Amino acid sequence: MKLVRYGAAGAEKPGMLDDGGVLRDLSAHVNDIAGDVLSDAGLDKLRAIDPASLPAVEGSPRMGACVGGIGKFMCIGLNFADHAEETGNPFPDHPVLFMKANSAVVGPNDDVSMPRGSTSTDWEVELGVVIGKAAKYVSKEDALDYVAGYCVINDVSERHFQNNLTGTWTKGKSCDTFGPTGPWLVTRDDIPDVQNLAMRLDVNGKRMQTGSTKTMIFTVAEIIEHLSGLMTLHPGDVISTGTPPGVGMGMKPTPVYLKRGDVMELEIEGLGTQRQTVTEDA
């Protein structure tokens, strides 16, 4: 099942895609793709609806972030073996955690705006995991039972802010528009093996990132086990699980960064595509 949120920013409506790819309005059944709707019971109620009974949405509306009311936006750094190697970092002993501000979240095709003072804005295609029910001290064997579904995330990063402004990575990860999420939330039952999904990202039509979730150092289940041992994970929490090689910071001999007018296009197998144009804050 593919769930979406569509419409103007801040006024998105819930919807689903039918088997023919037609967008259907869910407003008569739920207020948002958030909270209890993400639980097993909530998703089962949506599965029981005949998509043909739902109104078709006309035209090509804007797609918002595929989950509303995000509580925590957690990100895992250096989690792909081939990406750690390209950046010259050793494999971590435990998942590297940083947070992205919720104010960074935008739709999958919204513009990405570089902040004032940006010199090194970079791209990162990542698998997003959306939590469906409260998770505390969860074992990796049971961890995927706590997942509502998966989505595409672009963990846009300002590397100067991230690495050279005193503090944590969060500074370079949390700028407005730095969290495109979607286009849709694919429920976990539709992804038979989350550890074997192809990933790619292009800039201006040139392939920059090619990878697969099979090279993750810590699997989705291991990440959930680790994080739920530190804090309770709640419905609507999002985990961005790391990026494969090919980021601008890792280009040799000279890093390559985004500039105004660049277009990023990214895709994860089975989870859809994103497209963002780069702009600049006034």
CATH number at 168 reads 3.90.850.10
| 81 or 15, higher pLDDT | 15
66 lies in some domain: no
Report phi then psi at 267, rounded to 5. -155, 145
Same domain, yes or no: 175 and 222: yes
Same domain, yes or no: 133 and 259: yes
Contacts of 221 (CB under 8 A, 6+ apart): 140, 141, 143, 144
- The pTM is what? 0.96
Same domain, yes or no: 160 and 265: yes
In order of 56, 137, 185, 213, 233, the CA distances from 243 in angstroms are 35, 26, 19, 9, 22
pLDDT of amino acid 236: 98
Model confidence pLDDT, tens digit, residues 218-277: 999 999 999 999 999 999 999 999 999 999 999 989 999 999 999 999 999 999 999 999
Same domain, yes or no: 83 and 40: no
Which tokens go with 126? Answer: 């990542």
* pLDDT surpassing 80 at residue 88: no
The number of folded domains in the chain is 2
Pairing of strands 179-180, 105-106: parallel
In order of 29, 56, 165, 232, 249, the CA distances from 18 in angstroms are 16, 10, 46, 33, 39
Contacts of 183 (CB under 8 A, 6+ apart): 4, 63, 66, 107, 108, 109, 151, 152, 272, 273, 274
| Stretch 153-177: mean pLDDT | 93
The range of the structural domain enclosing residue 192 comes to: 73-280
